Amino acid sequence: MNVLLAFDKFKGSATARELNEAARLALEAVEGVTVSCVPVADGGDGTVDVLAQVCQGQWVSVPTMGPMLQMAPVTARYFLCDDGTALIEVAAASGLALLPDDARNVMRATTLGTGMLMRDAMERGSRNIVLGLGGSATCDAAMGIMCALGAEFLDADGHHLYPSGESLKNIAHIETFGIPPTVRDCHFTLLTDVDNPLCGDRGAARVYAPQKGATPEQVEQLERGLLHVADLVGADVANRAGCGAAGGIPALMMHLLDCELLPGAPYVLAHNGFACALDVADMVITGEGKLDRQTLMGKGPGQVIQMARERGIPVAAVCGIVEDGFDPVAVGLQLAIAVSEGLPHDLAMDPDSTLSRVADAVVRLVTGQ
């Protein structure tokens, strides 16, 4: 039997590569089983690591600015492919995981550091940048990125604005003369793992800002700022599915630069060899930290399930937990095993323990034990 492993990350516990490798090693001891691994991602944090595994190139480490001005500089990395494509994640320099809980301030958080990574890639010759949008600490609609790339944001009195969420409502003029030809000549592919628009009840502020530490009052301040940005960029951009990703990063980038906005999971699976691996698979096992209603709404495992079902290949899942009310069978899974249900938080998140439990569960799925 040919088993195809296609895990996404268990966020905060284990990466997609670690999970696939642990499961592969466990299945090598099972007689009559041939194993292949295709780690998956959906445009969120971990996407560059997955794509880099199938690309020729090198990792580049760069000192840059973190999400908060007052914090020490961070060293972030991106992957520079031999063909000149740069694979970058917002989370690397502007990620929520870079901040302790008590340092989160979505009103002042900025994507400047991500823009600095992009400039570094351009200085090394890249004119094609793929940007994974998940995991940000920010809600600045790419104001920071665009400042790093040469734009200037001015208020009604002509004063420069600090690029953060609290400044969005005060943008009166965007000066673009400082954007150099190297930036204007660059093509940006923005990968998103959500389909939220920029504003409204499903927008960047009301859905995601509370997760980044915003109070109810701050959420409404950010919403007013994003509504102002929507007026600047136009409804065609602001209402696009995914424009609310990573604090609205697509908004100003798509307005000012040569960008395309794509769902991340199909993009990754189109580039990591998953379709070819399906050709010889008798069974597919996927998984992520939590199976829930979002799984089939742009997440990597949801795309895996859909593609396997279209080919009539049985697919099962190993996850951390399953959301109450989520029916694995109804979405096309033969079975779902939750390896962290009921465990204390520290044990559930422990990397070594997680990898061991996942490996054991995969063996049980394949052997029918």
Return the domain boundaries, the chain. Answer: 2-40+274-367, 47-265
Q: Confidence class of residue 334 from pLDDT cuts 50, 70 and 90?
A: very high
Residue found by looking up tokens 């007052």 in the block: 70
Residue 272 CB contacts under 8 Å (≥ 6 apart), including other chains: 38, 39, 40, 50, 51, 53, 54
Higher-pLDDT residue of 298, 352: 352
C-alpha–C-alpha distance, residues 242 and 254, integer Å? 12
pLDDT value at position 233? 96
Other CB atoms within 10 Å distance of the CB of residue 194: 26
**So what's the pLDDT on residue 121?**
98
* Whole-angstrom distance, CA of residue 224 vs CA of residue 1: 56
Average pLDDT value for residue range 141-153 = 98
* φ and ψ at residue 272, rounded to 5 degrees: -105, 10
- pLDDT band per the 50, 70, 90 thresholds, residue 363: very high
- CATH assignment of 2-40+274-367? 3.40.50.10350
Question: Residues in the chain, how many?
Answer: 369
Which residue type is seen at 365?
L
- pLDDT, tens only, 217-264: 999 999 999 999 999 999 999 999 999 999 999 999 999 999 999 999
Structure confidence at residue 44 as a pLDDT band (50, 70, 90): confident
Rounded-to-integer distance, Cα 55 and Cα 80, Å? 9
pLDDT digits (tens, 9 = 90+) for 170-212: 999 999 999 999 999 999 999 998 999 999 999 999 999 999 9
pLDDT in tens, 266-298: 999 999 999 999 999 999 999 999 998 878 777
CA distance linking residue 54 with residue 45, whole number of Å: 17
Q: Residue 95: pLDDT above 90?
A: yes
Distance CA 169, CA 175 (A): 16
User: What are the tokens at 73?
Assistant: 């500089």
Integer Cα distance of 26 and 367 in angstroms: 12
The pLDDT, as a whole number, for residue 202 is: 94
Question: What's the CA gap between 273 and 275, in Å, rounded?
Answer: 6
Q: Is it true that domain 47-265 has CATH number 3.40.1080.20? A: no
